[in-house]
Structure 1
Amino acid sequence: MKIAIAGASGRMGKTLIEAVIQHPDCSLAGAFDLPAATCLGRDAGDFMGAQTGILITDNIESALQGADVLIDFTRPEGTLKHLEICQRLGVKAVIGTTGFEPKQLEQLKSFAKHMAMVWSPNMAVGVNATFKLLEVAAKILNQGYDIEIIEAHHNKKVDAPSGTALRMGEVIAQSIGVDLKDVGVFAREGITGERQHGTIGFSTIRGGDIVGDHTVLFAGTGERIEITHKSASRMTYAQGSIRAASYLMQHPTGMFDMQDVLGLKKVVV
């Protein structure tokens, strides 16, 4: 499976390159970054002392030539631009980008009519197992419990709450039959009054080099249930992305997520 990597000089890009190089069933087909990137012209494996023969370029089209799948964890504007080229070249895509506005999400979904892609706010297998656990917990704890979602990430992350936290909120809301847009509380300041029953609160922490921590708190009278996932390495996202890329090889078109990749939608709760 020939894989191209977007954002090759970033932390996630480097992790993806390392994962592809180390995977026995994958080869690096291309790597690209922005024109201002200082790594342009260097071997994509230089950062880890490996020679891949693939030079990092700012020419997206040339980087995608011959690739089966693009893995992209960049920014919404860039991702949509990359997908236009993928569609033209017949390249499938695994998208880990977060922070899409509603109109951008519609654009993203429109590409799936002509190509196959996996888009998920979090590619880690453990996180997606956590989504399923939250679905079960929300159905059991749908009365008498206040729900809060707390997430923490590194100080370079530009969107908040994280895509994973929002997806956790959506899973819970769907499980109890409400719309997150109606019950989500994303900011509290000053005299807010008592907590409104049935809301789902979000708290965001940004600091240091935290890879990604998410906790969902179900707070009842006399007890608390906490479901937590902590990421210690970006490699979990990379390995999940490769698993998603392999899944796409069976599909010519369509929009999928990691729940499809892992077969979790078939698990009845």
Structure 2
Amino acid sequence: MEYTMAVKIAVTGAAGRMGKTLIEAINLHPDAELTAAIEWSESPAVGVDSGELAGLGKNGISIVANINDVIDHFDVLIDFTAPAATVANSKVCSVNGKKMIIGTTGCSEDDKASIASAANQSAICMATNFSTGVNVCFKLLNDAAKILGDDYDVEIVEAHHRHKVDAPSGTALSMGEAVADGLQRNLKDVAVYGREGQVGARTEKEIGFATVRGGDVVGDHTVMFLADGERVEISHKASSRMSFGRGAVRAAVWIAAQDKGLFDMQDVLGLK
């Protein structure tokens, strides 16, 4: 299936920082059209014009409190909200034949299983980070780990704004997964999340994570491969949420042409 018209997109969490960015990104994409905007029922933004809220001027798309009120108005839902809401939305979309882009982080294994089940009925693209640059970093990290091997220690440092509720970031964890895959390790077995006190010498195969929270940092990630006499660093620094917004809309246009299944941004970019 190929789309010859603009893909109709709904944004949930439309009044949040990322929601506003997504609305702007849709407005900038030639093959995408915002046709619905959703918020939680108690949000003061319900009933407000979504374009005006995003600083773009009125677009005639008022924010609603229930996805079922606009279920016939869109092809793809973009969801960067919270795990419980995302899981519920995936069920609604799957039974109604709607595609979905999921950028929500902090999902449990049960949440992920529920989303994977929904993808048996409709196409879903789920990623911890929709930035094209970050996804190129995932590929580079996997390749670097394979080449550098066990002779290098691996440490991952990430920084985000003071409002971020999960740690380490989903992107940092995905970077760890990319490295662990390249080293043929199970991240769950070797990850170390922060160190304090007399922890002893570093073990040979561990992958360390350090988390920084403060200010308005959009997202900084650095992976260090450290050996005696040298250090290799692969970093990505985001100065605007628009990098995530552009990627999510790119993914939405791509997922609209898929039938069903669970995909990620690596699939969208052809990096697998």
> In structure 2, what residue type is equivalent to 1:38?
P
Question: Are positions 1:24 and 2:14 aligned together?
Answer: no
Q: Is the 8 A contact 1:64 1:70 kept in 2?
A: no
% same residue: 50
Corresponding residue of 1:191:
198
Corresponding residue of 2:10:
4
Matching residue within 89, 112, 116 for 1:109 = 116
> In structure 1, what residue type is equivalent to 2:187?
L
How far the C-alpha of 1:64 sits from its partner, in A, is 2.9
TM-score, normalised via structure 1 length: 0.96
Mapping of residues 217-236 of structure 1, within 5 Å = 217-236=224-243
Q: Is the 8 A contact 2:13 2:19 kept in 1?
A: yes
Corresponding residue of 2:130:
123
| Unmatched runs of 5 consecutive residues or more in structure 2 | 1-6
Mapping of residues 204-215 of structure 1, within 5 Å = 204-215=211-222
SS at match of 2:70: helix
How many angstroms apart in 1 are the aligned matches of 2:258 and 2:231? 43
Corresponding residue of 2:4:
none
Deviations 1:30-85 (A, max 9, x none): 10111121111110011314111110111211133220000000000000111111
Q: Is the 8 A contact 1:29 1:64 kept in 2?
A: no
> In structure 2, what residue type is equivalent to 1:18?
E
Give the root-mean-square deviation of aligned CA atoms: 0.9
Question: Are positions 1:161 and 2:168 aligned together?
Answer: yes
SS at match of 2:34: strand
Corresponding residue of 1:33:
39
How far the C-alpha of 1:189 sits from its partner, in A, is 1.2
Corresponding residue of 2:249:
242
Question: Are positions 1:51 and 2:51 aligned together?
Answer: no
Q: Is the 8 A contact 1:98 1:163 kept in 2?
A: yes
Mapping of residues 165-184 of structure 1, within 5 Å = 165-184=172-191
How many angstroms apart in 2 are the aligned matches of 1:134 and 1:189? 27
Corresponding residue of 1:89:
96
SS at match of 1:185: strand
Matching residue within 251, 254, 261 for 2:268 = 261
Q: 1:260 to 1:49 in 2, by over 3 A?
A: closer
| Unmatched runs of 5 consecutive residues or more in structure 1 | none
